Copies of this chain bind each other. A is one copy, B any other.
Amino acid sequence: MRNVDANTLTNAVIRSFDGAADPRLREIIASLVSHLHDFAREVKLTPEEWQAGIAFMHHAAKITNESRSEFVLTSDVLGLSSLVDLIASSGGTERSALGPFHAEGSPLLAVGGDLKKDNDGEAMLVQGRVLDSAGRPVARAQLDFWQAAINGKYWQQDPEQSPDNLRFRMITGDDGEYAFTTVRPAPYTVPYDGPVGDLLRAGGRHAWRPAHFHFIVSAPGHHALTTEVFFADDPYIDEDAVFGVRESLLTQITSDNDASLAQKHGLNTPYPSVRFDFRLAAATPARG
């Protein structure tokens, strides 16, 4: 090892992990080391630039806490989180960002329930079905839902919101249907007062995300699906700061006039409405 140079070092580092008990760890580390070293060689990374990278991490460490992760955000704005979702997508609805604001234990809401309560903003109906890969309804699937308020903030970021605001869990009926009323969310910026914000500014980039709903849809026998649902007319739909948008996750807002539905959901006619169906991939390959 005493004779390493800028090319042979990489193999020496990879070989140092030869004793790893887990072959998957060895595979991941070997690939990570190989690509990180290729990067440093390709750009001839200088000690000063390396130190700037370390300073970025130290700054990120300082502002990361239980309700804010600058490391997840770094991964997001470099497209790595999105890439992992794209790699994992396998037959069902496409995956998209979990983001940092999911919380366990959201209150249960019955199908057709109201989530908007006293939130400001445009009331809308959201409905659809949970289907399996063959297009059949999935009974008793769980939707775990969360969204930002009209001010672009989640309850964790906003002392004015109760901890249960704008989030729920819902169990579909035998027909796989879900429905709820809520307020239309607004585009918002990811936090840009930290090193990621510095990077975005230096890169000539903005921090905006198009408005979206978050869902985790799960059911026994199926892969859990973490995804987002967007609005096709959003001004930021083609420049999401975290690369979460997929064509297949866009909805069109329609203006609906169903008087009985409106009455049932406490809406005035016409009311804005979106429909989105989720498809869950089977956890084990389906048999012919």
Binding site for B on A (CB under 8 A): 1-6, 9-10, 12-13, 16-22, 25-29, 31-47, 49-50, 54, 57-58, 60-62, 64, 69, 71-72, 75, 78-88, 95, 98, 202-205, 226, 237-240, 243, 245-247, 250
Most buried by B among A9, A46, A64, A85: A9
- B residues in contact with A81, CB < 8 Å: 50
Q: Output the least CB separation between A14 and chain B (Å).
A: 9
Q: Are A86 and B49 in contact (CB under 8 A)?
A: no
Q: Are A43 and B31 in contact (CB under 8 A)?
A: yes
CA–CA, A7 and B177, complex, Å: 34
CA–CA, A22 and B58, complex, Å: 23
CA–CA, A72 and B54, complex, Å: 7
Q: Are B40 and A83 in contact (CB under 8 A)?
A: yes
- Residue A36 contacts which of B35, B82, B85, B95 (CB distance < 8 angstroms)? B35
14 contacts across the A-B interface (CB closer than 8 A): A4-B82, A10-B79, A13-B79, A17-B204, A25-B203, A28-B43, A28-B45, A40-B80, A41-B87, A44-B87, A46-B84, A47-B88, A54-B75, A60-B61
- B residues in contact with A238, CB < 8 Å: 1-2
Q: Are A79 and B204 in contact (CB under 8 A)?
A: no
- Residue A79 contacts which of B9, B21, B28, B49 (CB distance < 8 angstroms)? B9
Q: Are A37 and B202 in contact (CB under 8 A)?
A: no
CA–CA, A86 and B32, complex, Å: 19
- Residue A246 contacts which of B2, B41, B49, B204 (CB distance < 8 angstroms)? B2
- B residues in contact with A54, CB < 8 Å: 69, 71-72, 75
- B residues in contact with A46, CB < 8 Å: 84, 87-88
Nearest 5 pairs between A and B by C-beta?
Answer: A19-B204, A61-B61, A13-B79, A6-B86, A35-B39
